[in-house]
Amino acid sequence: MKRLVGWLVAVVALVVVAVVADRVTVRAAENGAVKAFEQQADDVSGAQIDILGFPFLTQLAGGELDHVTGSADTASFGGYAVSDVQVEAHGVGTSEPYTVASGTASGVIATSSLQEVVREQSGLDVELTTDGDALGVGLAVLGLDLTVDVVPRVAGPDTLGVDVQAVRTGLGVVSVDDLPAGIAGALEDLRVPLDLPEGVALESVAVADDGVRVGVSGTDVAAGNLVAS
């Protein structure tokens, strides 16, 4: 009986050591991935990477991580500075080019960045704000201050568009049809292009407190292309 108990204790001890070694290794890998990410992309701050699934060492030996999540306070994606970045990836290769089999990501493009695009495309001196699920495009027409509410939408796999919803003045809400034709057309034709890598497409757009949150999905994408976008 004593031999049996001793054998069981030894087995349990080995299992504990194996689990501890696995967790230590995965934490080291996560920290190394964060450092490599921040070195390749200077505009990244507050990055965090979590490798999920157990055991990690067997995934590493198999050359593919089942499930990886990540986040960052700030980063660059699609040609814009983004904040509150959230990433979820499945089937991540452990050797170059570190291909992601499938994944999703989202981040908030600030209103200041979008405002520059709106000004360039429309030729109008506008001020962009957020108001619930709409963006407020403030401008002056014939000495009258107007706010045109537009709702962002997916206009293509790499393009964000808007739908004009309402026009507000100090006297109340007026019809979109009452806008001068040039202004109405300029706002309705607005397009915000995203510089997305091959295999990644825009999936969702929603107004956030300080900008517009864009969501993308991708398949068979090299991680290096994501960092460089």
pLDDT at 222: 83
pLDDT at 16: 46
Residue 4 has pLDDT above 50, yes or no: no
Please give the backbone phi and psi of residue 36, each rounded to the nearest 5 degrees, phi first.
-65, -40
Mean pLDDT of 179-184: 70
Listed by start position, the domains of the chain span 2-107+223-228, 111-193
Tens of pLDDT along 140-149? 877 778 888 8
pLDDT at 11: 45
Which residues of the chain form beta strands (DSSP E)? Answer: 48-52, 64-77, 80-93, 99-110, 127-131, 134-141, 144-156, 159-169, 172-174, 191-193, 200-208, 211-222
Contact criterion met (CB below 8 Å) for 189 and 80: no
